[in-house]
């Protein structure tokens, strides 16, 4: 009987876990749909922005950067999740970063976006210069702090290079740890961003229409170049955070679905064991009754 009681307790525990994982799966699915809608709207803005950008680039070199930087310090921005229960999303990203930067800690500053990155890099004695926690339905206003830091760093030449690490959302099953260079802002780095977000350049017809138009830049070409560089960096930063958040929700949805399926399998297995044990006890009791009856005859 004690064995039956133990199995019954395990079944009850697994059923409770199943209810929790099922609820988390549903919540993640709903949030993922909302974030995907935001991503789609953002893509329309990106397309319009790129068409304008290519037109302006015909007049001024917006990718020209200051090469007279004396510092050897680098900055990496790490975008992670706020919570666990999202599979190996964070661990794969952290492993890549640790391998690349463990021997360069003295020359590397880290800005952490997401609670899990803060915990990991603090535990491994990296130099964290800033941190940011984001809710699932974040806006650009919520990441204003990172925009301010980037603007100040670029203006004062604090860093030789600035890179951002995040998980690129390829689909609901696959999220890829990805690195993007956001400073120095070169044509190659910008093309890498376009390839990462799978965004094509403006089509030839759109280019012809734009090229035939009149273009006036105010107050000056240099001021416009600085402003556009700032916009591009903010664009890349926002997109990487959005991609990582989408990947986080998708990964959690899949992880919770797998956990629910595993719970169902375990419940079936435990129920089978419970029935076998109960059947064994009943069979034993019947045998004892039959034996007692025979012995009394």
Identify the three-state secondary structure at position 87: coil
Could you give the CA distance from residue 42 to residue 199 in angstroms, rounded to a whole number? 12
Indicate if the pLDDT at residue 122 is higher than 90.
yes
Query: If pLDDT is split at 50, 70 and 90, which confidence band does 128 have?
Result: very high
DSSP secondary structure letter of residue 114: S
Q: What is the mean pLDDT of the chain?
A: 86
Q: Give the predicted TM-score (pTM) of the model.
A: 0.84
Cα 172 to Cα 258: distance, rounded to the nearest angstrom: 13
pLDDT tens for 247-265 read: 999 999 999 999 999 999 9
What's the CA angle centered on 114, arms 110 and 118, to 5 degrees?
50
| pLDDT reported for residue 50 | 76
| Residue for token pair 């009394």 | 296
The pLDDT assigned to 212 comes to 46
Higher pLDDT, 39 or 146: 146
Show the tokens assigned to 282.
Answer: 């009943």
- The secondary structure of 152-212 as a DSSP string is HHHHTT--SEEEEEEEEE-SSS-EEEEEEEEES--HHHHHHHHHHTT-PPPPHHHHHHHHT
First to last CA, the chain: 30
Which pLDDT does position 154 carry in this prediction?
A: 86
Domains of the chain: 29-251 (3.40.1380.10)
User: Which pLDDT belongs to residue 199?
Assistant: 58
Q: What is the pLDDT of residue 74?
A: 94
Residue in this structure with the two tokens 């039956």, named with its chain if needed: 4
Q: Which of 21-35, 41-55, 164-178, 271-285 has the lowest mean pLDDT?
A: 41-55
pLDDT in tens, 57-102: 777 877 766 666 778 899 999 999 998 888 889 999 999 999 999 8
Share above pLDDT 90 across residues of the chain, in percent, rounded to a whole number: 49
Q: Say if residue 12's pLDDT is above 50.
A: yes
Q: Give residue-wise pLDDT tens across range 199-255.
A: 554 454 444 454 545 667 777 777 888 888 888 899 889 999 999 999 999 999 999
């Amino acid at each position: 009987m004690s064995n039956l009681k133990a199995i019954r307790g395990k079944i009850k525990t697994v059923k409770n876990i199943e209810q929790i994982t099922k609820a988390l799966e549903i919540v993640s699915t709903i949030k993922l749909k909302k974030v995907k809608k935001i991503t789609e709207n953002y893509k329309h803005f990106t397309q319009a922005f790129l068409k304008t950008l290519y037109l302006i680039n015909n007049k001024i070199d917006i990718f020209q950067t200051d090469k007279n930087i004396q510092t050897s310090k680098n900055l990496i921005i790490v975008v992670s999740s706020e919570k666990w229960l999202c599979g190996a999303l964070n661990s794969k990203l952290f492993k890549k970063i640790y391998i690349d930067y463990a021997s360069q800690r003295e020359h590397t500053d880290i800005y952490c976006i997401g609670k899990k990155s803060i915990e990991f890099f603090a535990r491994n004695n990296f130099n964290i210069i800033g941190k940011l926690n984001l809710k699932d339905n974040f806006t650009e206003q919520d990441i204003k702090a990172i925009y301010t830091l980037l603007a100040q760093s670029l203006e004062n030449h604090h860093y030789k290079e600035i890179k951002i690490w995040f998980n690129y959302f390829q689909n609901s099953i696959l999220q890829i740890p990805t690195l993007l260079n956001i400073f120095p802002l070169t044509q190659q780095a910008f093309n890498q961003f376009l390839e990462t977000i799978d965004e094509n350049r403006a089509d030839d017809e759109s280019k012809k229409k734009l090229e035939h138009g009149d273009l006036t830049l105010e107050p000056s070409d240099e001021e416009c170049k600085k402003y556009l560089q700032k916009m591009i960096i903010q664009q890349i930063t926002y997109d990487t955070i959005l991609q990582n958040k989408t990947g986080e929700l998708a990964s959690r949805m899949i992880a919770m679905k797998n956990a629910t399926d595993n719970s169902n399998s375990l419940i079936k297995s435990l129920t089978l064991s419970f029935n076998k044990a109960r059947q064994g006890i009943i069979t034993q009791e019947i045998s004892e009754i039959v034996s007692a009856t025979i012995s009394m005859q």
